[in-house]
Amino acid sequence: MDTFSPSILPEALPELSEEAVQVRLMRELFVRTRESALVDFLPVLLLGWAHWEAQPLWQLGVWAGLMLGVLVYRWLVAHLFLARPKSQAARVRAWLLLERLGAVGLAAAWVSSMVLLGRGEVDGLFHLRLICLVALAAFLLSALGINLQVYANFLVALVLGTLWVLYLHYPAYAYALPTVAVGLALYVLMLLLRSRGEYRRAREWVRARLTQRKLLDQLHQNIQQELQMHDMLRNRTHELEETNRKLGELAIHDGLTGAFRRGHIEAELRRQVKAWERSPDDFSILLLDIDHFKNVNDEYGHPAGDEVLRRLAEQVQGMLRGSDLFGRWGGEEFIVLLPGTDLDRAVEAGERLRLALAGLTFKADAGRRFCITVSIGVAHLEPGETAASLTERADKALYAAKHAGRNRVLPYEPGQTEFSPL
């Protein structure tokens, strides 16, 4: 079984354009150029201090001014390139030309030290200047070796200029020690060969950094996409939960009135009766029916009838206690469960509801207004009774109230039938 992750396979790595690599190499070249320009001030100070008493001040000042001008030029070019990353890709050749000029100028300025700071004598200061030239060629390998052409231009200018100065101003030394010229040429050739390795390492390092950055960008994008997906899933989950909640409410609540549906209110009634068997207490129910509701629909229209049902449910639920339950029993019939309520108090509660509902005024089309009345049957739970028998007795009381003239509250009495008057 392959245990390697596809994300780390070579073919899965992001592709890098040659232009992007070259621009990044140029950027690294100028970063090192700026650093080397600052470090080059140290040997300038060293040579200036060493030649303070050995050379005329004007000659020392000319050389120091030339060196400082070249170093400032190299630092300024590098700084401007690094400060304008957006224009790098379009003007790489122009910036590279400026860098070459700076490298050749630096070589020429150091070669000039053999003339401006020397008197034609081979002394300790002569060897110090020569050592600085040799050390400079090695030091700039790490800075200019990133670009072979720039480094080659610097070395050629440095070596040819040094040999020209030696044979012109120090001929005795040059002819007496020809191995110096040969050794210097071999040393430069070794540095050039070494610069190829420096260039390859720098190029590989740049490609690795760019690849790492692209991978990090891809990882960041993937993380952002995952976060967005998580947000979408969270929102979707919230929507589903809200939908399920609404569906759950619709499953137990009537969509028109908001009262409990009959199935739920019957289950709650059976639960209350079962609880009464364990802990007997007063428990009563009310059955409400709107008087002549069919006439409301026929005369004022079904929208007016729906408004009656909504307003009735709103009024009743606003008058009930927190422990009371209100449900739609069917059509225009409603039921109220009254835990902890004896028969007399249940009748009083029913009477309050009847009066409140009789005081409601409804508006139909064309500005017509009408009112409603309700009939209410009341039953109190008796020992050994079931939920079915309790609702049956309340139903008998309700129909007895309707038979007695409607718009009234009647409790169930033993032996009462649906045609029994009060």
5: confidence class by pLDDT, cuts 50, 70, 90: very low
Which among 307, 240, 334, 22 has a CA at the least distance from the CA of 147? 22
What do you get for the CA distance between the two ends of the chain, in Å?
89
What are the tokens at 230?
Answer: 């998580």
Note the pLDDT of residue 8: 45
Tell the burial category of 145 from Cβ atoms under 10 Å away from its Cβ (0-12, 13-18, 19+).
buried
Report whether pLDDT(90) > 70. no
Report whether pLDDT(364) > 80. yes
Note the pLDDT of residue 290: 94
Task: For residue 231, tell me if it sits in a domain.
Answer: no
Please give the Cα distance from 354 to 369 (Å, whole number): 19
Task: For residue 293, tell me if it sits in a domain.
Answer: yes
**CATH code, domain carrying 331:** 3.30.70.270
Is 152 in the same domain as 266? no
DSSP strand pairing (325-330 vs 283-290): unpaired
Is 161 in the same domain as 290? no
Residue whose entry in the numeric block shows the structure tokens 């008796």: 382
Task: For residue 138, tell me if it sits in a domain.
Answer: yes
Domain-ending residue, one of 173, 201, 222: 222
Is 323 in the same domain as 179? no
Is 55 in the same domain as 161? yes
Note the pLDDT of residue 14: 60
Q: What is the pLDDT of residues 156-170, one digit of tens each?
A: 999 999 999 888 888
More confident residue, 19 or 219: 219
Q: What is the pLDDT of residues 212-255, one digit of tens each?
A: 888 888 888 888 888 899 889 888 888 888 877 777 666 788 88
Please give the Cα distance from 263 to 236 (Å, whole number): 31
SS3 of the chain: helix, strand, coil, percent, to 5: 70, 10, 20
Is 53 in the same domain as 159? yes
Amino acid at residue number 383? P
Number of domains, the chain: 2
Is 332 annotated as catalytic?
yes
Task: For residue 151, tell me if it sits in a domain.
Answer: yes
CA dihedral (316, 317, 318, 321) positive or negative: positive
Domain-ending residue, one of 173, 193, 222: 222
Task: For residue 253, tell me if it sits in a domain.
Answer: no
Note the pLDDT of residue 281: 85
Q: Pick the range with the lowest mean pLDDT from 196-200, 284-288, 392-396.
A: 196-200
74: confidence class by pLDDT, cuts 50, 70, 90: very high
Note the pLDDT of residue 342: 92
Domain-ending residue, one of 222, 246, 278: 222
Of 28, 99, 198, 332, the active-site residue reads 332
Is 275 in the same domain as 217? no
420: confidence class by pLDDT, cuts 50, 70, 90: very low
Task: For residue 13, tell me if it sits in a domain.
Answer: yes
**Structure pTM?**
0.52
Please give the Cα distance from 332 to 350 (Å, whole number): 16
Report whether pLDDT(135) > 60. yes
**Residues ≥6 apart with Cβ < 8 Å to 196:** 148
Is 48 in the same domain as 177? yes
Q: What is the pLDDT of residues 284-329, one digit of tens each?
A: 999 999 999 999 998 989 999 999 999 999 999 999 998 899 999 9
Please give the Cα distance from 326 to 235 (Å, whole number): 34
Domain membership of residue 297 as a residue range: 262-411
Is 69 in the same domain as 121? yes
Task: For residue 288, tell me if it sits in a domain.
Answer: yes
275: confidence class by pLDDT, cuts 50, 70, 90: confident
- 308 alpha-carbon distance from chain centroid: 51
Report whether pLDDT(352) > 90. yes
Is 217 in the same domain as 277? no
Please give the Cα distance from 119 to 304 (Å, whole number): 120
Is 23 in the same domain as 109? yes
